[in-house]
């Protein structure tokens, strides 16, 4: 049962660990937001009455807002006032519907958490337990020092082979480093501290040393 070849095991572990690191890089909160946005688009098509009503109210609000902006409050005050009341009423109804539909968001977040658990966390622990004694590959005798061969065989296999524990640790570190290198150019730049901040810190340090306020 669950008897797979070493090559398939290597690839399976690589895929699962890559997915895990990718999810960590993207962030669970981001995935929840994406899932919620997708659900909001699909829910009306699935017949959810609250989301259908919310879509209709948003369309009406956009129409009223456009019409209200197209007229002058001074020239057509009565019409503008009527549209303004409609706008406020629709805004209140939309906010109420959003509160009612927000309960569905917790379910979406829960399901996404379950998906992450099933696709990454559980497979990793399954591999670690079920294939803990599996030898993925061997090094030819004498290629590595004996103490290194012994270390790579930890904790369950014979010296000279590489087990799943060491392989998963190595793959995890490599994938994490690769994702970091890919993300790094797109990270927000950290601004350099201004001269004023530097001068302020210097003044504070002088005050701490001398016990008297520094002159400006």
CB 129 within 8 A of CB 156: no
* pLDDT for residue 206 is more than 80: no
Give the range of the structural domain holding residue 170, as residue numbers without chain letter: 132-187
* Residue at 214 is within a domain: no
What was the pLDDT predicted at 194? 61
CB 154 within 8 A of CB 163: yes
- 71-75, 111-115, 127-131, 191-195: which is most confident: 111-115
* pLDDT for residue 17 is more than 60: yes
Instruction: Report pLDDT digits (tens) over 162-194.
Output: 888 888 888 888 888 888 888 777 777 767 666
The structure tokens listed for 97 are 């519907």
Query: Do 76 and 24 sit in the same domain of this protein?
Result: yes
> How many domains are contained in the chain?
2
Instruction: Report pLDDT digits (tens) over 36-91.
Output: 888 888 887 877 788 888 888 888 889 988 888 888 777 778 888 888 888 888 88
Query: Do 122 and 138 sit in the same domain of this protein?
Result: no
> For residues 23 and 20, what is the distance between their CA atoms, to the nearest angstrom?
5
Query: Do 118 and 20 sit in the same domain of this protein?
Result: yes
pTM of the model: 0.62
* pLDDT for residue 216 is more than 50: no
* Residue at 155 is within a domain: yes
């Amino acid at each position: 049962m669950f008897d797979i070849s070493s090559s398939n095991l290597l690839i399976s572990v690589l895929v699962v660990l890559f997915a895990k690191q990718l999810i960590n890089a993207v962030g669970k909160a981001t995935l929840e937001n994406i899932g919620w946005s997708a659900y909001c688009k699909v829910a009306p098509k699935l017949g959810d009455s609250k989301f259908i009503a919310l879509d209709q109210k948003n369309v009406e609000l956009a129409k009223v807002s456009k019409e209200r902006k197209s007229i002058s409050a001074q020239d057509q005050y009565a019409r503008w006032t009527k549209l303004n009341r409609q706008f406020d009423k629709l805004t209140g109804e939309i906010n109420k519907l959003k509160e009612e539909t927000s309960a569905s968001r917790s379910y979406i977040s829960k399901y996404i958490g379950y998906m992450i658990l099933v696709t990454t966390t559980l497979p990793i622990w399954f591999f670690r337990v079920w294939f803990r004694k599996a030898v993925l590959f061997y090094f030819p005798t004498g290629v590595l020092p004996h103490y290194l061969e012994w270390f790579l065989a930890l904790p369950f296999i014979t010296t000279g082979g590489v087990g799943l524990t060491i392989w998963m640790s190595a793959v995890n570190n490599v994938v994490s480093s690769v994702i970091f290198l890919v993300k790094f150019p797109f990270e927000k730049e950290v601004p350099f501290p201004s001269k004023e901040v530097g001068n302020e810190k210097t003044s504070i340090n002088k005050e701490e040393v001398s016990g008297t306020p520094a002159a400006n």
